Amino acid sequence: MTIPEYLSGEEMNRPQELAYGVLREPATPTFEHQMIVGALFRRLDQHVRRFRLGRVVLSPMDVILDFERALVVQPDLLFVSTEREAICRDRIWGAPDLTIEVLSQRNQRHDRIVKAAWYRQYGVCEYWLVDLSARQVEVRELMTEAAGARVFEGRRLVRSRVLPRLRLKVADLFAG
């Protein structure tokens, strides 16, 4: 399937992605997954609006990483900085500054390995993986020489190079 074919389909709220021309339809998220996505959105959106940093967007939102190779993803949440808002049109046309995936048993391998590689290849600066079972947030810096992961849990504050003034305790995400 090409991107024009993908984009000409009917608008829907069901998760879909296009992986190098192959349509992928992951299972619908669980209740806990959506509660965490909602909590993260509220916290990030409040912070980003307060400091006029850009845009935070909830899934489903198509992110066109590679038009020619037909690669479209739908991260659970994404952030695009004010300086790069030109990529926000009817879809996101390029790599966001930050992408966030909330893991479930069904998608862990895909999100940890496959999507992480795509995000690194196409220029996402930072990638967060929220692990529901471990109650942790893993922050991966993708565009630095020493690209590594930092894991935050409990009362620790998540530290982000993309959103350096953010004060987000991991425990607060799971308190609802």
| 157 token code pair | 């504050």
* Domains of the chain (ranges, CATH numbers): 30-60+74-173 (3.90.1570.10)
Q: How many helices (H) and strands (E) does the chain have?
A: 5, 11
pLDDT digits (tens, 9 = 90+) for 122-137: 999 999 999 999 999 9
pTM: 0.93
pLDDT digits (tens, 9 = 90+) for 14-72: 788 999 999 988 888 899 999 999 999 999 999 999 999 999 999 999 999 999 999 99
| 140 token code pair | 């991966």
For 59, the 3-state DSSP assignment is: coil
C-alpha torsion sign, points 65, 94, 3, 17: positive
Q: List strands edge to edge, sheet with 17-19.
A: 22-24, 17-19, 71-73, 63-66, 92-93
**Distance (Å, rounded) from C-alpha 154 to C-alpha 173?**
10
For residue 105, what pLDDT is reported? 79
